[in-house]
Structure 1
Amino acid sequence: METINADKVKLKSIIGRYHIETKEPCGISSCRTPHSKGYLVVCEGGVETNIGNKCGQRIFGVEFKELETTFKKDTNAQRFRENIDKKQNEITKRVIEEISKLRDGEGKAEYLYERVNSYLTRLFDEKISSALIQRAKRKDPFLYEEILLTSKEREVAQELGGNTSTKREMVGVIQGLSAVAEYKTMRRYVLHDLGQDLEAFKSLKSELLSYEELRKWNRWASQFEKKINETKRIMSECNRFLGRSNIDFVRENKVLL
């Protein structure tokens, strides 16, 4: 690498980044501090050299910062394109069929959404629905009741300085309570994220996308498999919540909600 005089050259572009075990002297003649990480730059006239991370900003100021921003943006854009192209190749007919099976038919996401929604909006009274929603937000599925202590228990409690009249005893657990908070997310996933968005993603040409579009679809591609698994998990919770014994348990213990 050549040494450059910062007062006599103008930076043209950053062409790479380095991070090595051994330290190499900075390519700026007024610095020459050994660095283990920094950037490879091209100056006007074609001269290439290495500049330490902090040296570039300290010596070249705004000029270097703008080039650094451009380099990072270009690097990210390339990484986004590669990820989008990779995910497009991974979305096979089998994957699309798997998503379709999650969405349509009895016991599937749309059906489960309608069932949970019907309980919360019609089949349960407003007090039960409101209490379930609040419990789901708190992630608190356990129901307790206060029961009177026996005379012997009161004596023990009195000696220990505790409550001498009642004790708290668990009655049971609301199964699949998280479905109350997540069933709308499940529907959004299968209709939009894994539905409309999937169709749009399949036809993308990454080389034609703007940086903001690349960033958006890279995020979508990175979350695609997670959302499939999340949909399956929420469906399982919906089934647990909708079990006949669980619905009966909620109704029988509504005063404890």
Structure 2
Amino acid sequence: MIVLNQGKELVRVESWDDIVGRPGFNGNLNPAEHVLSGIIGQYAFADRIRCGLSDCHRPHGRGYLVVTKSGVETNIGKDCGKNYFGVDFETMATQFDRDMRDKQARERLWDFTFKLDELKQRIKALRTGERGADWVYKNSRPLVESGKGVPGVVIRRIADLLRTGDSVLTTEREPTEREIDLARVQGSRPPRVIVEKVADIRGLEALQSQNDLRQIMVVDLEEGIKEFEPLDVDTMKSTELSRWSKWVGRIEQKLDSAAAAISSGQALLAPANLQPFAILIPNFEAPETFRAYLKTLA
């Protein structure tokens, strides 16, 4: 890939032949006879390109296109530039790299502005669709927040499962006399409790903090859009360009994460999937409140 920095725009050139064919290009430039004027581009190839300095000619995978004060152009690697042109080259390379990052970020952000309406529609569809993000977030809160219709014993067990990364719901009971006798016959210590599997619970990952749909859809995306929209991309400083370019670069990943969290949440909130937790609820914790909660999910 070859990128030329031409004024306010970046020009991408696919073929090295297009560079060699430029009127001022010299692939055998003697650095002792020239003074560096500036850096006009950079390149990166899997196949290495021979350095354009007559004192070097070593192949480089990455490098810069430079122009001298006499208008001659050539290609050099970063180390060659520093060795032959000293501090001037290092200063120019640092500035060039910053300018390239800024221009690439501006290009990305300008391209993004034309896709804002489409993004808003995608977010709306994910949030308000049937059993979408809003539905999943609202109906999953009782499973992690007390006082919303789900008994504390269920909330605590779900918290335990999330902490351990397990998805198997189990119960404990005292061993029967037969189980105690069997252990003794086998030469084992009698068990204090017997752990029995109740069910595999699907979709618990929807409750993990990284899958918080309000954080993804509202805080990260919608509030980010509101903050970005009034900004002027052309006047952004390097730090702003870097920040917003990174934010834009994460949008698709966030949308994918949201879609996956919605799917997991739908599986989790199926009444039949949560019904097994009822076995944990003692009478004094009002099991009817959990039944009422499950009915709201049907």
- When normalised by structure 2's length, the TM-score is 0.66
Closer, same or farther in 2 for the Cα pair 1:35/1:118, shift >3 Å?
same
Whether the aligned pair in 2 keeps the contact of 1:109 and 1:186 (CA below 8 Å) is: yes
In the alignment, does 2:169 pair up with 1:143? yes
Per-residue deviation at 1:186?
0.9
In the alignment, does 2:128 pair up with 1:82? no
The residue aligned with 2:97 is: 72
Residue by residue, what CA displacement relative to the aligned partner does 1:69-93 show, whole Å, maximum 9, x if unpaired?
Answer: 2222222222222222222223335
Where does 1:1-257 land on structure 2 (aligned, <5 Å)? 1=26, 3-5=29-31, 11-19=36-44, 21=47, 23-27=49-53, 31-37=55-61, 38-44=63-69, 46-92=71-117, 95-104=119-128, 107-121=131-145, 122=147, 123-144=149-170, 170-182=197-209, 185-253=212-280
SS of corresponding position for 1:214: helix
Closer, same or farther in 2 for the Cα pair 1:61/1:252, shift >3 Å?
farther
AA matched with 1:136: L
Residue by residue, what CA displacement relative to the aligned partner does 1:148-183 show, whole Å, maximum 9, x if unpaired?
Answer: 7999xx79x96xx99997997643211210122148
**RMSD between superposed Cα atoms in Å:** 3.7
Residue by residue, what CA displacement relative to the aligned partner does 1:83-140 show, whole Å, maximum 9, x if unpaired?
Answer: 22222223335x4233223334884433432322223222344454244234224432
Distance of 1:85 and 1:76 partners within structure 2: 14
Q: Which piece of structure 1 moves more, 105-114 or 229-238?
A: 105-114
Larger helix fraction of residues: 1
Aligned residues, how many? 247
Distance of 2:197 and 2:36 partners within structure 1: 71
Distance of 2:83 and 2:153 partners within structure 1: 64
Give structure 2 stretches of 5+ with no counterpart.
1-25, 283-298
Distance of 1:236 and 1:129 partners within structure 2: 21
Closer, same or farther in 2 for the Cα pair 1:14/1:103, shift >3 Å?
same
SS of corresponding position for 2:29: coil
Report sequence identity in percent: 25
Closer, same or farther in 2 for the Cα pair 1:74/1:91, shift >3 Å?
same
Q: Which piece of structure 1 moves more, 234-243 or 124-133?
A: 124-133
AA matched with 1:238: G
The residue aligned with 2:8 is: none
Distance of 2:280 and 2:71 partners within structure 1: 79
Distance of 2:231 and 2:255 partners within structure 1: 20
Closer, same or farther in 2 for the Cα pair 1:97/1:52, shift >3 Å?
closer
Per-residue deviation at 1:41?
1.8
User: Which structure would you say has the larger RCO, counting Cα contacts within 8 Å and 6 or more residues apart?
Assistant: 1
- When normalised by structure 1's length, the TM-score is 0.74
Whether the aligned pair in 1 keeps the contact of 2:205 and 2:211 (CA below 8 Å) is: no
